[in-house]
Amino acid sequence: MKKNTKHTEKGTVKIWLYYLIIAVIGFILYGQSINNDFNIDDDYVYENHQLVQKGISGIPEIFKSRYNTRDEQYFGYRPLTIAIYAIEYEIFGSNPHTAHFFNILYYIISCLLLFYLLRQLLKDKFPEGYIWISFLIVIIFQTHAIHTEVVLSIKNREEIISLIFSLVASIYAIKLFEKRKALNIIIAVISLSIAFLAKESAVAFAVIIPLIIVFFKTNIKFLSKFEILSKISFNNPNTIIKAILIILMLVFISINGELTVFKDIIIRLHNYNTGSIEFIIWFIFILIYTYILIRNRKTEKKIQITKRNISLWIIAGVSLILTVIGGSQVFGLLVLIALFLTTFVAKKSTPIKVQWLENVSSKTIITISVFVALS
Name every residue whose Cβ is closer than 8 Å to that of residue 197 and which is 6 or more positions away in sequence.
Answer: 77, 78, 79, 80
**Distance of alpha carbon 14 from the chain centroid:** 34
Q: Is the pLDDT of residue 165 over 90?
A: yes
Label the pairing between strands 258-262 and 265-268: antiparallel
Mean pLDDT over each residue of the chain, to the nearest integer = 78
Please give the pLDDT value at position 272: 54
pLDDT band at 256, cuts 50/70/90? low
d(CA 256, CA 301): 33
Q: Is the pLDDT of residue 273 over 60?
A: no
Rounded to two decimals, the pTM is: 0.62
Mean pLDDT of 25-40: 89
Mean pLDDT of 59-84: 77
Half-sphere exposure of 131 (CA within 13 A, CB side): 13
Q: Is the pLDDT of residue 227 over 60?
A: no
Mean pLDDT of 112-126: 91
Task: Residue 135: name the closest of 122, 125, 149 by CA.
Answer: 122
pLDDT band at 215, cuts 50/70/90? confident
Name every residue whose Cβ is closer than 8 Å to that of residue 14 and which is 6 or more positions away in sequence.
Answer: 6, 7
First to last CA, the chain: 42
Q: Is the pLDDT of residue 347 over 60?
A: no
Higher pLDDT: 218 or 4? It is 218
Q: Is the pLDDT of residue 162 over 50?
A: yes
Q: For residue 205, what are the CA distances in angstroms to 150, 210, 219, 258?
A: 19, 8, 21, 33
